[in-house]
Amino acid sequence: VWVRGALRFSKTPNGGEKLLAAASSHKCLIQLEDVAAESEREEVVARYFLKQGVQVIVYLGDITKQEADALVNAANEDLRHSGGVALALSKAAGPEVQRESSDLVRRDGKVATGDAVMTSGGKLKCKKLLHAVGPEKDKAGGRERELQVVQGDIIHEKTDVIVNSTGFKSEPAGVSKAILTAAGPPVQAELFNGQKHKFIYIHSGLLGCKEIVHVQTDQEAQATNKTCKKVLKLCESKGFTSAAFPAINTGTNFKKVEVDPNSVEYQDIAKGFHKTAKYKIHKIERVQNYHLWSGYFVMRRKMEMKNSAAELGEKYLYHGTSAESCHCIERDRFDRNYTGAHGASYGAGVYFAINASYSANSRYAKPDPAGLKRMYVARVLTGHHTLGDSSMKSPPQRGDDPSDKYDSLVDNLQSPSMYVIFHDDQAYPEYLITFI
């Protein structure tokens, strides 16, 4: 029996003695508890005794405050703790747990359904966290409907349908232009030569989806909701399980965003930098340029068709530069005309280093008046490479076909420390690290 005010009564004159007398006469235990703490008290829902003599207790409470040797987290195969209880545990544990999880996946690959992996408990009141991956709903016979708001590039999404909002009468801009550029000329021609209906269904072109649905833009929220519902019904009728919609008002072609130092994204970039470069990071910025990304994406698809997906050689590499060159690189890609500071020892192209320490050299990452240096972390398509030399204006051909050339040059075939590319769209300046 819970009696409110018992703790307060026990502190009155003779209150404690009266409670002891009551407990003695009724042969019971009186437990005093603060009312403020009562709301946080765990409630035992059920108890079970297994054959082995183990007792299982079901509590109703906050698992992030639970004291135990180990807590179990219902995780996904990527160990991205981005929603539900997994997100709550990750937030309470601190960034260390997500960092350990990402390292596990990077080292050993995705966690198979039915398996579990272990990390530290971080700031939780446990020694270890067990991340168990259960079956997906659609594979278990159920129907799953999920809405996710994702920050990223829609043209790079692996989905059944990509939705493109267009005005039909005007030239495409922003996200719409990026989608059409990445899809390729055949899709552009099919869209603008066809009849202008509210919905137009077109094949995906060079994009990694099955179909593109072009819908006429309407600024009214009610009309937009109806359009979204129609697209989702279309997906269901065709058996599609996923669709990517562009966010409203995402027509900005260029944006530079400072990355949160507490985020996993920041920690991953900083970790790669600090493997070889022992400098203090001032800030990390993400470069978002739809035109440059579209060019890179198209080049990626071309190389994928030429070399196969396994031989893309897509890598994160480093490129030191001056503050003056940043504006040009972020808006008009890595151009050989203003990256000549790296010399031409292995060919007259754009140079990228495997180790950040090389690009951090003041010869390349020139300090500004405040002593700050700058370095890009770029996505680079290295593909098939061969040994370069100073006389090369472009990569040599690989075989008898003069049109089939190597994709990049290196300084050492057995153990490259740098890559040289000759096509501007082979690299995308994804992050800018400012350091001292």
Token pair 């159920």 is found at 142
Tokens of 277: 């470069």
The whole-angstrom separation of Cα 363 and Cα 373 is: 11
Specify the length of the chain in residues.
Answer: 436
Can you list the residues of the chain whose pLDDT is less than 50?
Answer: 1, 3-4, 35-41, 138, 140-142, 148-151, 168-170, 219-222, 248-249, 339
The answer to whether the CB of 352 falls within 8 A of the CB of 419 is yes
139 contact partners, CB below 8 Å, separation of at least 6? 113
Apex 311 CA angle, 305 and 312, nearest 5: 70
Break the chain down into helix, strand, coil percent, rounded to 5. Answer: 35, 25, 40
CA separation for the pair 277, 84 (Å, rounded): 37
Would you say the C-alpha torsion 353, 357, 361, 365 has a positive or negative sign?
positive
Angstrom distances, CA of residue 103 to CA of 97, 173, 357: 10, 38, 22
- Per the CB < 8 A criterion, the answer to whether 184 and 296 are in contact is no
Give the chain's domains with CATH numbers: 1-41 (no CATH), 63-135 (3.40.220.10), 154-244 (3.40.220.10), 254-435 (3.90.228.10)
Where do the DSSP E strands lie in 34-115? 43-49, 55-60, 68-75
pLDDT value of residue 411: 95
Element (H, E) at 90: helix 84-93
d(Cα 364, Cα 367) in Å, to the nearest integer? Answer: 9
Q: What pLDDT is attached to residue 1? A: 46
pLDDT at 384: 95
pLDDT at 163: 73
Q: How far, in Å, CA of 70 to CA of 231, rounded? A: 45
Residue 80: C-alpha distances to residues 95, 96, 99, 126 (Å): 12, 13, 10, 20
Distance CA 89, CA 134 (A): 17
Query: What's the whole-model pTM score?
Result: 0.50
What is the spatial distance between Cα 338 and Cα 361, in angstroms, rounded to a whole number? 17
Euclidean distance between CA atoms 194 and 121, whole angstroms: 58
- Cα separation, 201 vs 47, in Å, equals 56
